[in-house]
Amino acid sequence: MLGDMNDHADPREGAGLLDGLTASLRPDQLDTSPSALDLHARGESWDAVQPPAVVVYPESTADVRRVMALAHETRTPVTPVAANSSLGGHTVPVAGGISLDLTRMDRVLEIAADDFLAVVQPAVTYPRLNEALRATGLFFPVDPGAEASLGGMASTNASGTLAVRYGVTRDLLLGLEVVTPSGRVIRTGGRAPKSSSGYALTQLFCGAEGTLGVITELTVRLVPRPEAVMGARAAFADVRGCVAYVTDVIQSGMPVARCELVDAATIGAIRQHLGLELPALPTVFLEFHGDAASVRSASELALALAEEHAATEASRATDPEALSALWRARHQAYYATIAAHPGMANVITDIAVPVSRLAGVIEGSLAAAERTGAPTYLIGHVGDGNFHLVLFFPPDDGAAHARVEAAYGEMVELALAAGGTSTGEHGVGLRKLPYVRAEHGDAVDVMWAIKDALDPRGIMNPGKKLPAKVN
């Protein structure tokens, strides 16, 4: 990658780019002020800091097309960003150049409730889309937790608590509009519920983390709001008890819509941060969607199973407000752990494994975390084999940081040995680059062949997603 980056012109040296941008866009669409550059120099939970040369605010696909054509011509790196809620350094412009801030492209363009689809611009967040859908009886069921933008969610193939029932972002995309690295506008997919025509470009751009083009419009599937929702909670003496229970719940084929595991430390942080009254025990949170009868019978089954597993406490929740408070708490869990460690740095893992391997991999990961001595929190979408450990360390303690990073590597190794992945939902960004070759082997060369074919000048979000080429 570094070799490629040497090909990039330094846009601060050449006036061509800035002149071109000034000629193509309004003055308020460009910002080279130190505060703007600084604001676009970093991502959430990532310590690399690299300011771009210029921040550009496109307001339309035509704007993006003009910017990409100029970037192509001048070999300028482009790093797209919208909500900037990535946890993997995706939006840090490590090669400088343009920070393409899409936040002004934030319109819901169409809601076609009869066809269960919506068309949105990339900076629309999923909560705002759901707000717009309120009257339709439909919703968009991917909830990565942060106020993430749909463009970013598509770029990382984000998921969240409901993926176990409704699928991940890739499953919910019908089509995209993409500006290619050379400034051409293409449309992928369409509005039909299914198609076998063409290569799967929609799926390919999804999860490409902005390395193959800029997503300027998304056509997303919507699903009917469930007739009835019921929640259940089961607390156990230890994490092992939780995982054994979850494994049984999933393997029973019970139709769960959410299946989350939070350890006692995280519950403590949530209690502190949000003032919620929850027992300070490792807890499994379940939710069932369906008609009234089926959610009742599924939740009864879940409670019976909890009793079999000797749960310390188990209960159901139907009250919509209690449910929504519960899931708000879950969505805030990561921020609650951060609030518990002011001034500390953290890393967050994102392993996913087959459900049968969850117990062993969680156990091994917790053991690796414990050896570092770092305060550690477990938060997991365990229904689909995905869990996060958040490890804290003092930002100026290089030895502690090194121990945490070494443990991170051990955990990924455990996941890969179990047939799993280094990243279930956050994406690679910069964070998982060291593990991509181990996970994908020679398939990485095929990925590079695609990258080189679509972005021959290597200007799209360079340094992310794919590890350096092996020559």
Interactions with its own copies, residue window 423-452 (CB under 8 A): 423-428, 432, 435-436, 439-447, 449-452
Tokens of 326: 């519960």
For residue 99, CA distances in Å to 42, 64, 399 come to 11, 12, 33
Residues 296-315 binding its own copies (CB under 8 A) are 297
For residue 403, CA distances in Å to 231, 345, 409 come to 39, 13, 10
Which listed range, 201-209, 237-245, 275-283, 366-374, lies at the site for its own copies (CB under 8 A)?
Answer: 201-209
Which listed range, 5-13, 206-214, 369-377, 388-396, lies at the site for its own copies (CB under 8 A)?
Answer: 206-214
Residue 453 binds its own copies (CB under 8 A):
yes
Residue 471 binds its own copies (CB under 8 A):
no
Burial profile 207-221: b = 16 or more Cβ within 10 angstroms, e = fewer = bbbbbbbbbbbbbbb
CB of 227 to its own copies, least distance (A): 9
Residue 268 binds its own copies (CB under 8 A):
no
Residue 161 binds its own copies (CB under 8 A):
no
C-alpha triplet 387, 392, 394: angle, nearest 5°: 160
Residue among 45, 159, 161, 372 that touches its own copies (CB under 8 A): 159
Residues 274-293 binding its own copies (CB under 8 A) are 290-291, 293
CB of 25 to its own copies, least distance (A): 24
Binding mask 31-50 for its own copies (x = CB under 8 A): --------------------
Residue among 141, 207, 210, 463 that touches its own copies (CB under 8 A): 207
Residue 197 binds its own copies (CB under 8 A):
yes
Tokens of 168: 């991940």
Residue among 199, 275, 321, 399 that touches its own copies (CB under 8 A): 199
CB of 390 to its own copies, least distance (A): 18
Q: Using CA atoms, how far apart are residues 201 and 182, in angstroms rounded to an integer? A: 17
Q: Decide if 90 contacts 210 (C-beta within 8 A).
A: yes
- Please tell me what DSSP assigns to residue 176: E
Question: Helix 433-440 crosses helix 398-417 at what angle (to 10 degrees)?
Answer: 20
CB of 121 to its own copies, least distance (A): 18
Residue 237 binds its own copies (CB under 8 A):
no
Number of residues in contact with its own copies, rule: CB under 8 A? 90
Tokens of 101: 């801030």
Question: In terms of CB distance, is 153 or 340 closer to its own copies?
Answer: 153
Q: Using CA atoms, how far apart are residues 143 and 124, in angstroms rounded to an integer? A: 13
396 Cβ contact list (under 8 Å, min separation 6): none
Question: In terms of CB distance, is 185 or 325 closer to its own copies?
Answer: 185
Q: Using CA atoms, how far apart are residues 448 and 404, in angstroms rounded to an integer? A: 30
Residue among 218, 422, 430, 463 that touches its own copies (CB under 8 A): 422
What length is written for the chain?
Answer: 471
Residue 353 binds its own copies (CB under 8 A):
yes
Q: Decide if 90 contacts 42 (C-beta within 8 A).
A: no
CA-closest candidate to residue 430, choices 406, 395, 394, 466: 466
Question: In terms of CB distance, is 200 or 406 closer to its own copies?
Answer: 200
CA-closest candidate to residue 99, choices 32, 155, 147: 32
Residue among 3, 60, 109, 224 that touches its own copies (CB under 8 A): 224
Which listed range, 61-69, 160-168, 266-274, 366-374, lies at the site for its own copies (CB under 8 A)?
Answer: 160-168
Q: Decide if 87 contacts 156 (C-beta within 8 A).
A: no
Question: In terms of CB distance, is 255 or 398 closer to its own copies?
Answer: 255
Q: Using CA atoms, how far apart are residues 369 and 21, in angstroms rounded to an integer? A: 48
Residue 135 binds its own copies (CB under 8 A):
no
Question: In terms of CB distance, is 81 or 270 closer to its own copies?
Answer: 81
Residue among 79, 188, 299, 376 that touches its own copies (CB under 8 A): 188
Binding mask 381-420 for its own copies (x = CB under 8 A): ---xxx----------------------------x--xxx
Residue among 12, 107, 187, 371 that touches its own copies (CB under 8 A): 187
Q: Using CA atoms, how far apart are residues 470 and 431, in angstroms rounded to an integer? A: 19
Strand ranges for 163-248 from DSSP E: 173-179, 185-189, 214-221, 223-224, 228-235
Question: In terms of CB distance, is 184 or 371 closer to its own copies?
Answer: 184
Residue among 32, 203, 312, 332 that touches its own copies (CB under 8 A): 203
